Structure formats: C-alpha cells, structure tokens
C-alpha cells in the first residue's frame, strides 16, 4: 500500500525564479506522497546557522527546485523553522528545517530528451478482464493483458503480479496501491516528447477512470530508450482513494475495449467534445461515490442526465429548438433520453418502492425520480416535502435508477454497443455475464 515513495535523496537547490542570483542549498528527501494530498514534497534542512539566513531567498514569490543541475519543479514553501525554535521535546540544532510542495509538473532527469517508450503504473484500477495472455519475454507466464491501439500509439496494460493481494488490502483498508503496469510506444516507431507524454497520459487517465468508475491516472511515468531511463515524470492528475464500487464493465465479454477506445480517441481529438467528456464523467464519478449518501448522489446523477439531454437530444439529434429546450419538464428530458437508448421508463421489478409510487400517483420511474430529486433540492418548501415520502430505501432505489440512466447515456455517447453490467438487475457483478446495451443493432 502506498504511503510515500522517495524520488530523490541528497542536495537540492532552491532558486528564485526571476532572479537566479538568489539561491540556497538544502539536504533532504524529495518524496511522492498520497496523504493529505497527492504530490511531490521536499523535507530537509539548510545547514550553516547563523551565517545562512534562508528567508531572504524564500521571500521570492516564485521558487524553483533543482537537483543534479536540472530543474525539477516550481515549488511553494509550506514550512520553515528557525534553529532556535525546535518542536517541543527536540534539542536545539544548527540548521533550518524546511518543507516545500512541488507543483503538478515534477520531472527528475533531462526531459528535453525524446524517448521511444513510456512505462508507468496505475493505482487502484480494478480488474478489467478475465482473459489470459501468454507472455514469453521472461519465460512462460499467464497475465491479464489489455492492448489499446490507434493510428499513433499502442498502449499495453496488465495486472501487477500481486494484484489479488493488493485488491484485498484495498477492499479492507482503502487508500492507494499500484494495481496495473503499463507501457506505451508510437505505432510509427517515432519518439515521445515530454509534451506528447503529458497529452497521452491525460487521455489515458480519463479513459482508465471511465472504465474504473473512480478517478485514476498513470503515475511515475518513465521515459526510456534502449532500456535506459532518461527521465521520470512525477506529475499527476487526480486519483481517488479506493472505495469498492460497481462500474459498468463486464469481465466476461472479450474484445470489448478496442471499439470504445477508438470512439473515445475520436471524441478526444475534438476540444469541445473533450471538455464535455470530462464534465459528464465528473458527474458520473460523483454519483457513484455517493452510493452511501444517496441525497448528493441523486442530485449529481440528475445533473449528469440533464447534460446528456443537451448533448444528445438538443445538439446531436436536434429534436428540440427554441424555448422548448429549457421549458420541457425534467421527467420528459429523461424520457427523451430513454427513447433514444431504447430503454424502458418502467421501474425495474426489484424496485418495489418506486413501483408502489407509480401505482399510486406517478406515471413512470422518471416521474418518481424527478419528484424525489426536487424534494431534496427544494426541501424548504412544504409542497416538496409533501410530494414524495423520501425514505432512505426509496432514495437508494432512485439513485440506482438514475445512475443506471446516466451510465447508459454515457455508453451511448461513447458509441458502445457491447455488453455492460445492468445495475438495475440487482445481480452481483462478479456473478453476471452482462447484457447487450438496449440500443445495439450489431450484437443482437
């Protein structure tokens, strides 16, 4: 399990960004830490008291951290302690103590060198396949390997050798652990610049997170050529601490990632689609993590569905124009989405409280879901409180149905036509082969 990893130990130099004549050396450790927040942190000491006075350098608004003659990162000083002000119980010392946090662009090595291959690990990525691939590079072994290809790159990821042990620990304790190893290379045998590496890693972070149902990202990215590591990128996107959740993907459906990766890459190349993709996935992740706090999850899922309505119904299908776009009732927006998805508006048979509401006063599941959502958003109004009895079990059922709608809508947006885990079936994901998405015409 991750707590911290030492990136570098030894002498570093703090340099004023706009005045390189102002600098000071320190000795300590540069570590990549996960708590209380993810990122690289330097902790060490500045010797030479009383002749050295660090604050004269640290007063600079912008500082750089250098090691081995190369810039590592822009930094912000978070703590500097005077030698005559030790912590309680500690003796007086003859050095200053310093802590500094690196920004999100942290590189060890010469990042100007272009490289043939990128190697990385992915934390907290759940199992994505139960298919085995025979790996012969170091003798015969069977690994869970997934390959993504497009016109420019080939990406290979496989479960770490101790994947099951790590997942067991994550399920028990949460936190972070590297569960996948990955590598990327250019399909045309060209090399990666640092800029291209960062663009690819952002793309992979978004795609892996979508498969995972929780935010994750490639980390500790090594730039290599002919087996030599020339630099390591310790920059990062957001990675969520582990909680067990159920995502849409099904382990027993082979060769299902290639098509969705192709569609994903096509959308990613369009800046407006890339922005929408990140936006809609944000609401998806927020609704999934809120399964134990159904109130916020319901609001998050409904917000995501509203966004899909504007994207699919209004922008792509052009089914509505003018004032009708905004004046239409929220439940009708959901019904329009469901009609495009070829999905029913009736409540699934396991959702007894929603079915009861339909039988009493509401026409279908979207109407019940919207009423429950409105009772949460407008809880101060007596009419909203009286409209729907929002028991905890009813709210959980509504959240499950809305998350199901949102999940299907996102898969449709990505052009997916394979099998998915239908969460409305109330079947354990590990015991379920999935079902074809209702809009598919190719696999039925």
Percent of the chain with pLDDT over 90: 55
* Confidence band for 22, pLDDT divided at 50, 70 and 90: confident
Residue 278: alpha-carbon gap to chain centroid:
10
pLDDT at 266: 95
* pLDDT digits 0-9 by tens, 395-420: 999 999 999 999 999 999 999 988 88
Average pLDDT of the residues of the chain: 86
Average confidence (pLDDT) over 60-70: 89
Least confident of 60-74, 151-165, 205-219, 382-396: 382-396
pLDDT at 182: 95
**Of the CATH numbers 1.25.40, 2.30.110, 2.60.40, 2.40.50, which one belongs to the domain with range 4-103?**
2.30.110
Average confidence (pLDDT) over 37-60: 78
Cis peptide before 41 (omega within 30 of 0): no
Among 428, 389, 398, 219, which residue's Cα sits nearest to residue 297?
A: 398
* Pairwise pLDDT comparison (249 vs 228), residue with the higher score: 228
Alpha-carbon distance of 326 to 329, in angstroms, equals 8
pLDDT at 139: 45
Whether the per-residue pLDDT at 304 is higher than 80: the answer is yes
pLDDT at 435: 86
Percent of the chain with pLDDT over 70: 85
Rounded CA Rg of the chain = 26
Alpha-carbon distance of 307 to 289, in angstroms, equals 19
Whether the per-residue pLDDT at 83 is higher than 80: the answer is no
Least confident of 34-38, 361-365, 414-418: 34-38
Whether the per-residue pLDDT at 71 is higher than 90: the answer is yes
Residue 36 Cα distances to 41, 166, 179, 241, angstroms:
11, 21, 21, 11
| pTM: predicted TM-score of the whole model, two decimal places | 0.88
pLDDT at 323: 82
Alpha-carbon distance of 265 to 222, in angstroms, equals 23
Among 337, 341, 339, 372, which residue's Cα sits nearest to residue 354?
A: 372
* Pairwise pLDDT comparison (136 vs 68), residue with the higher score: 68
* pLDDT digits 0-9 by tens, 245-295: 888 887 766 557 888 899 999 999 999 999 999 999 999 999 998 766 788
pLDDT at 281: 97
Considering 76-80, 139-143, 328-332, the range whose residues carry the highest mean pLDDT is 328-332
245: left (phi over 0), alpha (psi -120 to 50) or beta: beta
Residue 139: strand pairing partners: 137
* β pairing state of 117-123 and 178-186: antiparallel
* pLDDT digits 0-9 by tens, 38-49: 889 999 998 876
CB 292 within 8 A of CB 246: no
Encoding tokens for residue 174? 């949460």
Whether the per-residue pLDDT at 136 is higher than 60: the answer is no
Sequence ranges of the domains in the chain? 4-103, 117-244, 268-436
pLDDT at 138: 44
Cis peptide before 317 (omega within 30 of 0): no
pLDDT at 333: 95
pLDDT at 392: 85
Whether the per-residue pLDDT at 14 is higher than 60: the answer is yes
Residue 277 Cα distances to 79, 205, 309, angstroms:
38, 12, 14
Q: Work out whether the CA dihedral 54, 58, 64, 65 comes out positive or negative.
A: positive
């Amino acid at each position: 399990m991750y707590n911290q990893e030492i990136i570098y130990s030894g002498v570093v130099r703090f340099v004023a960004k706009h005045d390189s004549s102002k600098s000071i050396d320190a000795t300590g450790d540069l570590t990549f830490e996960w708590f209380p927040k993810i990122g690289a942190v330097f902790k060490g000491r500045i010797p030479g008291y009383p002749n050295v006075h660090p604050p004269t350098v640290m007063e600079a608004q912008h500082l750089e951290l250098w090691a081995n003659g190369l810039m590592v990162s822009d930094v912000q000083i978070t703590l500097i302690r005077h030698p005559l002000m030790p912590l309680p119980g500690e003796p007086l010392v003859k050095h200053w103590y310093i802590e500094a946090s690196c920004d999100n662009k942290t590189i060890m090595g010469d990042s100007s060198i272009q490289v043939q291959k990128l190697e990385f690990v992915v934390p907290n990525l759940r199992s994505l396949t139960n298919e085995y691939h025979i790996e012969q590079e170091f003798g015969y072994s069977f690994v869970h390997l997934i390959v993504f290809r497009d016109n420019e790159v080939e990406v290979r990821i496989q479960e770490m050798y101790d994947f099951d042990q790590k997942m067991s620990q994550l399920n028990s304790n949460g936190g972070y652990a590297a569960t996948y190893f990955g590598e990327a290379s250019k399909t045309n045998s060209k090399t990666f610049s640092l800029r291209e590496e960062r663009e690819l890693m952002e793309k992979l972070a978004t795609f892996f997170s979508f498969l995972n149902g929780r935010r994750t990202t490639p980390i500790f990215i090594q730039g290599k050529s002919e087996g030599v590591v020339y630099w390591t990128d310790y920059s990062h996107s957001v990675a969520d601490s582990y909680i067990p959740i159920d995502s849409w993907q099904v382990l027993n459906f082979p060769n299902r990632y290639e098509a969705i990766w192709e569609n994903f890459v096509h959308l990613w190349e369009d800046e407006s689609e890339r922005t929408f993709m990140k936006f809609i996935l944000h609401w998806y992740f927020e609704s999934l993590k809120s399964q134990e706090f159904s109130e916020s999850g319901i609001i998050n899922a409904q917000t995501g569905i509203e966004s899909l309505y504007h994207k699919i119904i209004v922008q792509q299908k052009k089914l509505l124009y003018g004032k009708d776009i905004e004046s239409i009732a929220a439940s009708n927006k959901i019904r329009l989405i469901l009609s495009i998805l070829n999905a029913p508006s009736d409540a699934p048979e396991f959702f007894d409280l929603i079915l009861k509401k339909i039988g009493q006063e509401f026409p279908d599941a979207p109407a019940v879901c919207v009423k429950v959502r409105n009772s949460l958003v407008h809880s101060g109004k007596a009419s909203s409180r009286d409209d729907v009895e929002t028991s905890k079990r009813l709210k959980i059922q509504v959240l499950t149905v809305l998350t199901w709608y949102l999940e299907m809508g996102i898969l449709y947006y990505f052009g997916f036509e394979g099998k998915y885990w239908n969460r409305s079936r109330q079947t354990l994901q590990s015991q379920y082969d999935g079902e074809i998405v209702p809009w598919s015409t190719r696999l039925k």
